[in-house]
Amino acid sequence: MFAAHIQDNRPQATAHLAKTMSYLQLPATELEAALMAELDRNPALELVDELRCPGCGKRLRRLPCPTCAAPTGDGAPVVFLSPRQPGGLHEIEGGEDDLPETSVPERLDEHILRQIGPALAREERPVAAHILAQLDENGFLTEAPAEIARYKHVALSLVQRVLDLVQHADPPGVGAAGPQASLLIQLDCLSETSSAPPAMMHLARLLIQEHFAALGKMEYERVARRLRAEHGLHLMPGTIETAVQFIHRNLTPYPARAHWGDGKLPAADTAALRNPDVNITTLASDGGSALSVEVFAPLSGWLRVNPELKAAAANCSGEDRERWGQAIANAALVTKCLQQRNHTMRRLMQIIAEGQRDFILGGDGDLRPSTRVQIAQALGLHESTISRAVAGKSVALPDGRIVPLAKFFDRSLAVRDRVRQLVEAETDPLADDEIAAALAKEGLQVARRTVAKYRKMLGILPASVRGRQARTHLATRPHNARLTAVALATPPA
């Protein structure tokens, strides 16, 4: 009998779960668009234009909800849901005593979407949104196009077309897989607009395409020998230096940083330059010690099943009754799943705010990453549910940083930060095994090859090259050569 009971409810339960999961996976801005489409489709669903707390449902005159956002007094974080206002964070905070208006520059994803938007077909838009959301701090796309095609259930050629648009928008080279690919795309764009001699363009392309690693190490003589052997190029002495200088002047290995590195928000968080889904501040009334965590719900209004339509449907008969009944059931499902999504986001942020207070108020080195499994167990949810809740969301921190929610789960971040500090403080260049040994002394067990991987992620050259760079610098050898090596290999600080 129990089995029969489950059987009966399965279609409904499955629909509920699937919808909740799909809502959970979307950032608030995208979910807002999805809900608006649902409103267009379903006349039984109604958006009441009044300000209500998405947590307790109380009508509000002003934000935040005085009940849900009340300080607890014991220093615990206050985590509450907040209706998203049209225009995002700015509008909500647009009071008298709030953020200066200049604090948020146009986001990189918005900037690119604004340019490519008109060229996108309807079915290409979600792919563009996905690509832009996946860009890392340097503007690179580490996900393979085939992976995106599979994930979004679209043809690979469609992904490639969208990616091509992204890569050739301003700043060119965003969306490439790495610095080398990015430089080649930038060179393409440059050749369309620049009056540089074709021979220079050609040499620059050869250098980037075939001798990228050697350039970083300034092995110009070796490169000249190989160009002679492999391409029959007989270059005048100093030509490669000139070409490298040309690359340095016109191209940048880290396209996102070049354009977005000067704003208030640190360049490292470019990927998360979007309307944050969560806004964390400190509670002034609590002496600034307690955290106030505002989890944005996707709508500013109140979503409900249209009561008149519901009443009218009850008086219908036959086919009409069934049709309206279905619409009403769907509308009820949407409101229920939305509530559940909001509820899960709030619980997730509660546990993160409690566990990550040091990182929220401090820096990357204070991160004590959680695993999705730990959080899933603490909340009694499945790990995949946590993954969906984390996907694509971003968090504004009290000091103005906006970071991907996934950052709270980044195990390597604290170690990477320590590697960077060690290299910055070195007097003689530390080899990777020496860095590993230094980390081990601090209780961080990291393999040498992992150090090498983190070092590359940080854009730090190997110790042997760092040593040569320092000597070059001291001897004030050709200034441009040193700059180029830095530009090709190290992201600007």
Interacting residues toward Zn ion by CB under 5 A:
53, 55-56, 65, 67-68
- CB nearer Zn ion, residue 68 or residue 273: 68
Q: Phi and psi dihedrals of 129, rounded to 5?
A: -60, -40
Minimum Å distance from CB 57 to Zn ion? Answer: 7
- CB nearer Zn ion, residue 65 or residue 165: 65
Minimum Å distance from CB 68 to Zn ion? Answer: 3
Contact yes or no for 262/277 (Cβ under 8 A): no
Q: Phi and psi dihedrals of 108, rounded to 5?
A: -60, -45
**Nearest Cα residue to 421 out of 411, 408, 430, 409:** 430
Contact yes or no for 377/387 (Cβ under 8 A): no
Minimum Å distance from CB 49 to Zn ion? Answer: 18
Minimum Å distance from CB 342 to Zn ion? Answer: 11
Minimum Å distance from CB 56 to Zn ion? Answer: 3
- CB nearer Zn ion, residue 53 or residue 243: 53
Q: Phi and psi dihedrals of 80, rounded to 5?
A: -140, 160
- CB nearer Zn ion, residue 67 or residue 289: 67
Minimum Å distance from CB 305 to Zn ion? Answer: 21
User: Burial level of 122, CB count in 10 A (0-12/13-18/19+)?
Assistant: exposed
Residue with tokens 């208030």: 264
Tokens matching residue 451 = 């150090």
Distance (Å, whole) CA 369 – CA 366: 9
User: Burial level of 193, CB count in 10 A (0-12/13-18/19+)?
Assistant: exposed
- CB nearer Zn ion, residue 191 or residue 281: 281
Distance (Å, whole) CA 493 – CA 479: 19
- Buried-state track 75-86, b at ≥16 Cβ within 10 A, e below 16: eebbbbbbbbbe
3-state helix, strand, coil in the chain (%, to 5): 60, 5, 35
Minimum Å distance from CB 283 to Zn ion? Answer: 16
Minimum Å distance from CB 54 to Zn ion? Answer: 8
Distance (Å, whole) CA 360 – CA 363: 7
- CB nearer Zn ion, residue 53 or residue 451: 53
- CB nearer Zn ion, residue 58 or residue 368: 58
- CB nearer Zn ion, residue 54 or residue 145: 54
